[in-house]
Amino acid sequence: MSNQLALTLILACGIAAQFIAWRLKLPSILLLLIAGFILGPATGWMNPDALFGEFLFPAVGMAVGVILFEGGLSLKIREFKATSGVVQGLVSVGILVTWVLASLLAHFTLDLSWSLALLLGAILTVTGPTVVIPMLMLIRPKGRVNTIVKWEGILNDPIGALLAVLVYEAIIATNFESATTVLLSGFPITLVVGVVGGLVTGWVVAQAIRHHWVPEFLTNTFTLSMVIGLYTVSNMIQHESGLFSVTVMGIYLGNQKKVSIRNLVGFKEDLRVLLISSLFIILAARMRPEDLAHISVGSFVFLLLLILAVRPAAVYLSTLRSDMPFNEKLFVSMLAPRGIVAAAVTSLFASQLIQLGVEGAEKLVPNMFFIIVGTILIYGLSARPLAKKLDLADEDPQGCVILGSNLFSRTLAKALQSEKIPVLIVDAQWSAIKAARMEGIPTLLGNVLSDKVTQTIDYTGMGRFLALTPNLELNSLACIRFGDIFGLKEVYQLGEPQDKDKPTQWIPEDLSGHTLFGPHMSFAYITKRLHHGATIKRTPITKDFSYEQFRAQYADQEAAPLCLISESGKLTFFTVAKSITPRPGQVLISLVGGV
C-alpha cells in the first residue's frame, strides 16, 4: 500500500468511526481501535513503523500534548474551587493507591517482573480524558460529578505520564543509586518547568492576542506553534515534562480574563477530534497477530480486579475526609477508562525496552490495548444505567435558559414551569429580574454575553436556549454563544418584524438561532397581543380533540402554536423552518386571543 493511500485511509476510517459512534451513541475510541486492528494485524494493509519511521513517536507525543492543551482550556478554576478537596485527593492519594495496587496485580496476574509491573501500574494511573469527556457528554451527570471526573482525567494524564517516565528511567538506570536519584529529582524539576513554562508561554500568547501582535487570521496557528514549541523545550529541559507544561498553559489561557479564546477553543476541539481519530488507528495498527498470544486468563483477571477493586479503593481512600455523597463516590469509582495517553506511553516505552532486551516487555502493548478496550466496554455499558440508578443522570434535559425578562418570556416561563420543565431567566436589568422573581421564576442577573454568566449558570436539567428580547442583534449573539453549550440544534430566537419593503437578507444558520413560532411572530407582535388580552393556553391533544379541531375552534382568535410537550415530557418548539403536526397524547402550548 502506498504511503499516500495509507494516510488517506487513516483519516477516512477515523472520521467514519467518529460518525458511526455518534450515530449509535457508542464510545468512538472503541470503533477507532477496531479500525486500527483491521488495517494492521488483521489484514496487514498498514505498517505505521514503516510509514512514519523514526518520526512516529515524536509526532505521537506532540499530538498528545495538543490534546492535553485543549483539555486544559476547558478546565475552569471556578469549578475546581467547589471540588478542590476531592480532585486533589484523586490526583495524589488516588494516583499512589492505583500505582501500588495495579503494580501488585500486574506482577502476580500478568507474570511481569517487578520493574515492568511498576511501569505498567504507573501508566494505568491515567484515566483518559479523551474517553471520559465523551462519556460525560453522553451521560450528563448531575452536580459535582462532571467537574470532578473531568478535572481528574485531565490532570491525571500529565502526572501519570510523568510517573511512568520516572519509573522507566529508573528501570534503565545502571544502579540503585541512579534510579533513586531519578525518582526523587524528577518530580520537583518537572513541576517547576511545567508551571513556569506553562504560565509564561500562556501569558505571552494572551498578550500577543490582546495587543494584536499577531494578525487575527494567524492567531490559532500561532497558538498551536507555541504549544508545540513549549512541549519541545520543556522536554529538552526535563525529559517528558512537556505534557505537564502544555496542560498548565491551557488552564491559564482558559481562565484568564483579558482576551476571548472562543475561536481558539473551537479550532482546538476540531484538531483534537482529528488527532484522536488518527492516533488510535495508528497505535492499534502497530500490533502484530502474534501479540495477541500475550493476552491470557491473567489478563482478564487483572482487568476485572482493576475495575472492581483498584479503582474503588483509590476513590474511597482519596475521599475519606470529603463530604462527597455515597452515590457520587460510587459513580466516580465506576468510571476510569484508559485512553490515548496510556496507549501512546505504553507503545513508546515497550518499543524501547524490547530494543534493550528487557524480558517480558513484549507483553505491555497487547495487555494495555486489552485494558483500554475492556475498560471502555465495561464503563461505557455500565455508566449510563448506573447514573440512572444513583439518580445522577441528566441525559435528556428539557429545561430552558431564557434571555430577557419581559411580559412574554415570563408568561411562557410560567407555562413551562406548570409542565414541570425547569426554566432560568437571564437579564442585565435589575428591575426586569425583580419582576420575574416576584412571579416565582428562577433568575440570574448579568450580561448574557459575559463569561461570568455562562460559567455561573447551573446547567443541570437545561437543554436549550431561548433568546426572547426585542434586540435582534443581542438575540443572535447570545445564540452564537450558547450554541457552544447546547449545540446549534437547541438555540432559538424571535424573528424580526415583517416588512415587505425591506430587502431579504440571508444569514448563515451558525450566526443565529432557529427562528421561533412563525414568520410574523416577532417580539412586537407577541407583546401587542398580550397587552390586548392574549393568553398562553394549554391544550391536550387527544383522539377526541385533534389539532385540526383545535385550529377550527380558535380560528377567530388566531391561535399561534408555541411548543409541544410529549407524554414522556420532551419539549419541542415550533419554528419557521420546521413543520410539526401535534399528535394525540401531546400537550400543545399556544398563544390565543388578543387580536
**For 274, what's the count of Cα atoms within 13 Å in the CB-facing half-sphere?**
10
CA–CA separation, 514 and 573 (whole Å): 10
Highest mean pLDDT among 29-33, 67-71, 119-123, 240-244: 119-123
pLDDT confidence band for 184 (50 / 70 / 90)? low
What is the H or E stretch that residue 143 is in? none
pLDDT for the residue numbered 186: 64
pLDDT for the residue numbered 204: 93
Q: Which residues pair with 587 in a beta bridge?
A: 540, 565
pLDDT for the residue numbered 178: 57
pLDDT for the residue numbered 339: 80
Q: What average pLDDT score do residues 565-588 get?
A: 87
Backbone angles phi, psi at 92, to 5 degrees: -125, -75
Which amino acid, 524?
A
* Model confidence at 182: pLDDT above 60: no
| Region of poorest pLDDT, from 8-12, 412-416, 578-582 | 578-582
pLDDT for the residue numbered 79: 64
pLDDT for the residue numbered 185: 64
CB of 192 closer than 8 Å to CB of 246: no
pLDDT for the residue numbered 308: 94
- Bridging pattern class, strands 560-565 and 587-592: antiparallel
pLDDT for the residue numbered 401: 93
CB of 106 closer than 8 Å to CB of 112: yes
Give per-residue pLDDT as tens, 106-143. 999 999 999 899 999 999 998 877 777 777 777 777 77
CA–CA separation, 52 and 60 (whole Å): 11
| Region of poorest pLDDT, from 117-126, 144-153, 248-257, 321-330 | 144-153
**Any idea how long the chain is?**
595
Any idea where the domains of the chain sit in the sequence? 54-389, 399-592
CATH number of 54-389: 1.20.1530.20
pLDDT for the residue numbered 133: 74
Q: 360's torsion region: left (phi>0), alpha (psi -120 to 50) or beta?
A: left
* Model confidence at 346: pLDDT above 70: yes
CA–CA separation, 354 and 14 (whole Å): 29
pLDDT for the residue numbered 64: 81
CB of 277 closer than 8 Å to CB of 11: yes
pLDDT for the residue numbered 325: 86
Is the pTM for the entire model greater than 0.85?
A: no
Q: What average pLDDT score do residues 248-271 get?
A: 79
pLDDT for the residue numbered 499: 57
Give per-residue pLDDT as tens, 516-533. 888 888 888 999 999 988
Q: Of all residues in the chain, what percent carry a pLDDT higher than 90?
A: 21
pLDDT for the residue numbered 510: 56
Name the average pLDDT for the chain. 84
CB of 422 closer than 8 Å to CB of 461: yes
**For 592, what's the count of Cα atoms within 13 Å in the CB-facing half-sphere?**
15
Better-predicted residue by pLDDT, 344 or 184: 344
CATH number of 399-592: 3.40.50.720
Q: What average pLDDT score do residues 71-77 get?
A: 75
* Model confidence at 498: pLDDT above 80: no
pLDDT for the residue numbered 218: 87
Residue 182's closest CA among 266, 129, 138, 118? 118
* Model confidence at 174: pLDDT above 60: no
CA-atom Rg of the chain in angstroms: 27
Cα angle 277, 134, 425; round to 5: 135
Question: What percentage of the chain's residues is helix, strand, coil (to nearest 5)?
Answer: 65, 10, 25
Residue 268's closest CA among 484, 448, 57, 123? 484
pLDDT for the residue numbered 80: 64
Q: Look at the alpha carbons of 203, 197, 280, 137 in this order and tell me if their dihedral is positive or negative.
A: negative
pLDDT confidence band for 98 (50 / 70 / 90)? very high
CB of 288 closer than 8 Å to CB of 112: no
Q: List the alpha helices (DSSP H) in 286-423.
A: 297-305, 311-318, 326-333, 340-355, 364-389, 407-418
Give per-residue pLDDT as tens, 364-419. 989 998 998 888 888 888 888 888 888 887 767 888 999 999 999 999 999 999 98
pLDDT confidence band for 228 (50 / 70 / 90)? very high
Residue 135: DSSP 8-state: H
SS3 190: helix
pLDDT confidence band for 496 (50 / 70 / 90)? confident
pLDDT for the residue numbered 161: 77
SS3 45: coil
Q: Of all residues in the chain, what percent carry a pLDDT higher than 70?
A: 92
- Measured N-to-C along each axis, helices 145-172 and 176-210 cross at an angle, to the nearest 10 degrees, of 130
Name every residue whose Cβ is closer than 8 Å to that of residue 487 and which is 6 or more positions away in sequence. none
pLDDT for the residue numbered 258: 81
Q: List the alpha helices (DSSP H) in 535-592.
A: 547-553
